[in-house]
Structure 1
Amino acid sequence: MSRSRTDDEPPDLSDLFDELEDLDDVVDEPDAQARLDAVKQLAGEMQGDGGTFGQVIYGFDRHDTAEAALGSLLFGIPMAVEGGTNEAGEFVAEHVLNLVGSLAATVFIVYGVLYVARFQDVRISHPFFGVIPRRLVGVLGVSSITATLLLTAWGRVDWADPWVAVCTVAVAFVPMAIGAALGDILPGS
């Protein structure tokens, strides 16, 4: 998925990463893959002045998981202590289309934060089934687990009524997923 550039544009590190990602698709041997990963790491270290913004981000590892969890908590703790979350959960439990719309909007917003807004140059690497970005799955997964655990641990949901509990968790999940996306990419890892 190389981006197009005109002949009069000088190549930059973004072009290098495009070429490395193209190579990533054809390298099969573990030794060659390890060397390619090392070159990608070296190119990332050489980029820019070492500041937070403007780095090329690819993959999704335990560091990204921790950053996403922290961002999710930063946005989620206010949701856990606010009674309005429970009221909104009860409302969407009675209006399933609102729940579906909220969840779909969340996926689109998180995708936009990660890949469209360009806070960082986030690359899709080894997508699930060839199309679903690992970082998107990771951020959404971390934020949904964090929302469930936080609201359950703090007694904000009553699992005796599982549908309302799921809807309440879904309400908290919306800002927590956005926080997870920002927490993941803004540190620049």
Structure 2
Amino acid sequence: MVDSDEPDAATGRAGGSDGAGGAADPAHGPENPDINDLLATLDALSDTVDEGHEREKVRQTISLVERMPGTGALAQRITKYTSRDLAESFVGAVLFALPLLVEGGVFEIAAWFAATTVAGVPVLLVGHVGFVLLATAGLLYFADFRQITIRHPILGVIPRRYAGVLLVSLTTSSLMLLFWGRLHEGDPTALERLGRIAVVWAAAAFGAGLGDILPGESQGEDLGKFDLDIGDDD
């Protein structure tokens, strides 16, 4: 039997068979596609259509797929990022930051960060911030608590959930230190104040990430919808 590239009359798909266990055909996507592949394809389609009403139709289709009932691994998948996720991140950040606000050890660590410099650069503080960034990304996307789909990244690069967790936890840490009088206590230097924020931020970011993903997918309007489709005729 000769393989054909013509669409099959019954299925509307190109002819040819991979066979059981055959390799995936790059022209037709994965051999065993799942719902994540479908959502990824729809996301890519929404970025290619030109008309506003066409883009809205694609979004409606994505919303319909996301509301389909799922079991097992599908039930653990998170696709939307909503205002409720921001609230959950805030609660988690507060719960994890509270114990550190009464700990004098935060001041000692911040002073150590400020005192350890190379060519005037606080290398330990910079390394600590890098650790917070990497640990948060690992918690959200590699620890396998939930299967998280990245959609509508900021500037096409930064996942919205990742940015949200980091910003909510950083803001929470800074404001709580300020309101509780712990940011300026003992007349610290500016670098020591940054160190205090960074120490509390580490715990708050971890709490914010857990507070966001552990409850599962939240209800509400997906913040990814507000992606500034400039130039679309709605």
Settle same-fold status: TM greater than 0.5: yes
Q: 1:117 to 1:28 in 2, by over 3 A?
A: farther
Cα distance in 2 for residues equivalent to 1:51 and 1:187: 15
In the alignment, does 2:100 pair up with 1:72?
A: no
With structure 1 as the length reference, what TM-score do the two structures score?
A: 0.84
In the alignment, does 2:176 pair up with 1:150?
A: yes
Equivalent residues in 2 for 1:107-146, closer than 5 Å: 107-146=133-172
Q: 1:21 to 1:104 in 2, by over 3 A?
A: same
Cα distance in 2 for residues equivalent to 1:85 and 1:15: 45
Instruction: Give the aligned partner of residue 93 of structure 1.
Output: 114
Instruction: Give the aligned partner of residue 191 of structure 2.
Output: 163
Please list the CA deviations of residues 133-164 of structure 1 after superposition, one character each: whole Å capped at 9, or x if unmatched: 22211111111000000111111110753221
Q: Structure 2 regions of 5+ residues with no counterpart?
A: 1-22, 117-121, 218-234
Q: 1:38 to 1:69 in 2, by over 3 A?
A: same
Q: Structure 1 regions of 5+ residues with no counterpart?
A: none
Please list the CA deviations of residues 96-153 of structure 1 after superposition, one character each: whole Å capped at 9, or x if unmatched: 1111111001111111111222322222222223212222111111110000001111
| Aligned with residue 176 of structure 1, among 204, 209, 212 | 204
Q: Is the 8 A contact 2:78 2:147 kept in 1?
A: yes
Q: CA deviation at 1:54?
A: 1.2
Q: 1:75 to 1:52 in 2, by over 3 A?
A: farther
Over the residues paired in the alignment, what is the CA RMSD in angstroms? 2.5
Q: 1:44 to 1:115 in 2, by over 3 A?
A: same
Q: Is the 8 A contact 2:177 2:197 kept in 1?
A: yes
Q: CA deviation at 1:6?
A: 4.7
Deviates more, 1:102-111 or 1:78-87: 78-87
Q: 1:33 to 1:119 in 2, by over 3 A?
A: farther
Larger relative helix fraction: 1
Greater RCO (CA < 8 Å, at least 6 residues apart): 1
Q: CA deviation at 1:183?
A: 1.2
Cα distance in 2 for residues equivalent to 1:104 and 1:72: 18
Classify the secondary structure of the residue corresponding to 1:46: coil
Identical counterparts, % of pairs? 38
Q: What code does the residue aligned with 2:178 have?
A: T
Cα distance in 2 for residues equivalent to 1:43 and 1:37: 10
Q: What code does the residue aligned with 2:195 have?
A: C
| Aligned with residue 187 of structure 1, among 215, 224, 230 | 215
